[in-house]
């Protein structure tokens, strides 16, 4: 049967509109951007490069990706044989990477456009077995430093990079309280080296932190309960830790958990602290921290909240359990940019709390 051209065109436009309508109604329609859901993994770290650029740091895959939130595009991707550390220098947009070349530790510096600016090989620095290797920028009264932690031993190198200027043990009695312990991650901000340790015992998992002053050798411990996962970063004189529940057959192991805290690096004492009270064993929470903002999702209250680094509430909205995977990747005032699950294996860029 022949259809008149005008009716055919109308049918085609209606069909096209139906195909486009899910995207048009989506909170991410302005960006229309979708990404692998690997970026939602809490182990994939984020860092602000500029007011519109977010860097994704995936140490497991040895990969960096720069997202431009204004266009919704991944502007560039860099892969490395191993990614020990990655730091963004505030105000400069420069990105410093510690990697490996020909079994030697190498520092590479990139611009915000992903172009390599320089590289330096540390021929006398060796990593040992499954090491954590971290870099610390030069500052007022401090030199550029590289720290290597292998097992419990910590070695710190400075120019001319020939031998350690500090060598010390980070062993603690806390290490003997679990069936097994592993060094999960680390960060170095001279003189403080921060080691995140994961302990396993009777099927239960817990995180704790060792913060050591390499000059004075003073070690502080920061402990968290079982079945609570945590993320961290050093900011100025503070260690920022945010947590999420990871579930347990027995329910929550604590009903008034710390969901966010800022610890003094010198003393290990908590300053700003946010706790939530849970009354149901099947309750859950998640938190995502980015550049001075915290996104907190609480299933018992059914709320998702944006807070500043002092714990002040900036915005709130209703939340459902599916929102527990939302990841904060930027903000502008009270408006937040998140990656949220989309479909089975994708993530979607959204803006929320818009006025």
Domain boundaries, the chain: 41-123, 132-283, 284-355
pLDDT higher than threshold 90 for residue 240: yes
Q: What is the DSSP string of 18-65?
A: HHHHHHHTSTTTTT--EEEGGGGSTTSEEEESSSSEEEEEETTTTEEE
**Residue 160 to residue 143: CA distance in whole angstroms:** 11
**pLDDT tens string 32-86:** 478 999 999 999 999 999 999 999 999 999 999 999 999 999 999 999 999 999 9
- Name the CA dihedral angle for 138, 144, 146, 152, rounded to a multiple of 10 degrees: -70
In DSSP terms, 116 is beta-bridged to 110
- pLDDT tens profile 124-162: 998 877 899 999 999 999 999 999 999 999 999 999 999
Cα distance between residue 69 and residue 54, in whole Å: 7
Residue-wise DSSP of 159-206:
TT-SS-SEEEE---GGGGGSSEEEEEEEEEETTEEEEEEEEEETTEEE
Three-state SS letters, 134-153: EEECCECCECCEEEEEECCE
How is residue 6 annotated by DSSP? H
Considering the four listed CATH numbers 3.30.460.80, 1.10.10.10, 1.10.3720.10, 2.40.128.630, the one that applies to the domain covering 41-123 is 2.40.128.630
Distance spanning both ends of the chain, measured CA to CA: 52
In CATH, what is the architecture of 284-355? Beta Barrel (2.40)
- The residues facing 230 across adjacent strands are 243
pLDDT at 58: 98
Q: Which two tokens stand for residue 11?
A: 């049918």
Residue 2: the pLDDT is 44
Under the banding of pLDDT at 50, 70 and 90, the label for residue 247 is low
List the helix and strand counts (H, then E) for the chain.
Answer: 1, 28
């Amino acid at each position: 049967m022949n259809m008149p051209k005008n009716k055919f065109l109308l049918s085609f436009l209606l069909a096209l509109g139906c195909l486009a309508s899910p995207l048009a109604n989506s909170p991410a329609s302005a960006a229309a951007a979708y990404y692998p859901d690997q970026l939602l993994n809490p182990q994939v770290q984020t860092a602000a490069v500029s007011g519109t650029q977010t860097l994704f740091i995936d140490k497991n895959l040895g990969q960096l990706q720069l997202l431009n939130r204004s266009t919704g595009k991944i502007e560039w991707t860099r892969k490395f044989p191993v990614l020990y550390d990655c730091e963004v220098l505030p105000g400069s947009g420069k990105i410093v990477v510690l990697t490996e070349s020909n079994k030697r530790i190498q520092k590479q510096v990139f611009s915000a456009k992903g172009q390599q600016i320089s590289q330096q090989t540390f021929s006398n620095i060796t990593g040992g077995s499954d090491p954590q290797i971290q870099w610390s920028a030069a500052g007022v009264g401090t030199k550029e430093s590289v720290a290597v932690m292998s097992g419990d031993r910590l070695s710190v190198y400075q120019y001319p990079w020939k031998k350690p200027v500090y060598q010390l043990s980070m062993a603690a009695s806390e290490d003997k309280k679990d069936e097994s312990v592993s060094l999960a991650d680390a960060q170095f901000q001279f003189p403080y080296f921060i080691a995140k340790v994961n302990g396993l015992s009777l099927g239960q998992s817990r995180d704790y932190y060792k913060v050591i002053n390499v000059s004075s050798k003073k070690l502080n411990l920061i402990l968290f309960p079982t079945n609570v996962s945590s993320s961290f970063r050093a900011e100025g004189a503070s260690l920022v830790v945010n947590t999420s529940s990871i579930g347990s057959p027995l329910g929550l192991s604590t009903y008034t958990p710390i969901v966010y805290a800022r610890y003094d690096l010198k003393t290990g004492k908590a300053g700003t602290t946010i706790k939530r009270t849970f009354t149901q064993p099947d309750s859950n929470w998640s938190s995502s921290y980015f550049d001075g903002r915290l996104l907190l999702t609480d299933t018992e209250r059914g709320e998702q909240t944006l807070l500043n680094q002092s714990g002040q509430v900036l915005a709130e909205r209703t939340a459902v359990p599916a929102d527990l995977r939302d990841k904060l990747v930027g903000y502008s005032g009270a408006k937040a940019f998140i990656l949220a699950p989309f479909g089975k294996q994708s993530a979607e860029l959204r803006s929320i709390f818009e006025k």
